Amino acid sequence: MNFRAVALTLWDVIKKTETTQAKVKLATKPRPIQKKYDAIVEKMKETYGFKIRKWRSSMSGCAWELKDKQGNIYRMLESPYPKGPMSCAIFLHEVGHHAIGFNTYKPRCLEEYYAWEWSLSAMKANDLNVTANVLKRRDNALQYAVAKALRRGLKRVPIELEPFIPPQFRIAS
């Protein structure tokens, strides 16, 4: 093997990185729908008063509230940044927890159901595409939530969640 010694300076590396970044910027044109997603993020933050703790790179999310000693409530959220129907649905699902209120519905799996319903309604109200994959994600998430509740001893599945009872928990008739 022949190896050639190449003496690079820090400036050579920086210049190469800048050139690569410029090519990436040229290759990715902004999509018109992104303005709509950006506006939804701002509208939801204003309406429900939450702060984004972190934008996740994964398609998962979490919403919660913190109370300080004076009783002030701080609403927090983590989710992927909306860039398409799936990430938008997940973002709106987490917003849905703030919109419907925590501990409004019992058991917890019912709260998940209403957060998903809120998310899909918000997508439709904002003229966003609710894809088959988004509906499949909702179905899988609710099936998981119901299974978890049943494993933990849930005695009666709420009627709204009956379609999401996993096969292993169904009673043969």
Residues in Cβ contact with 49 at an 8 Å cutoff, skipping those fewer than 6 apart: 75, 98
Q: pTM of the full predicted structure?
A: 0.82
| Number of residues that this document lists for the chain | 173
Percent of the chain past pLDDT 90, that is, above it, reads 79
Return the structure tokens found at 3.
């190896």
pLDDT digits (tens, 9 = 90+) for 57-116: 999 999 999 999 999 999 999 999 999 999 999 999 999 999 999 999 999 999 999 999
Say how far apart CA 77 and CA 134 lie, in whole Å. 20
DSSP designation for 77: E
The residue extents of the domains of the chain are 35-46+81-169
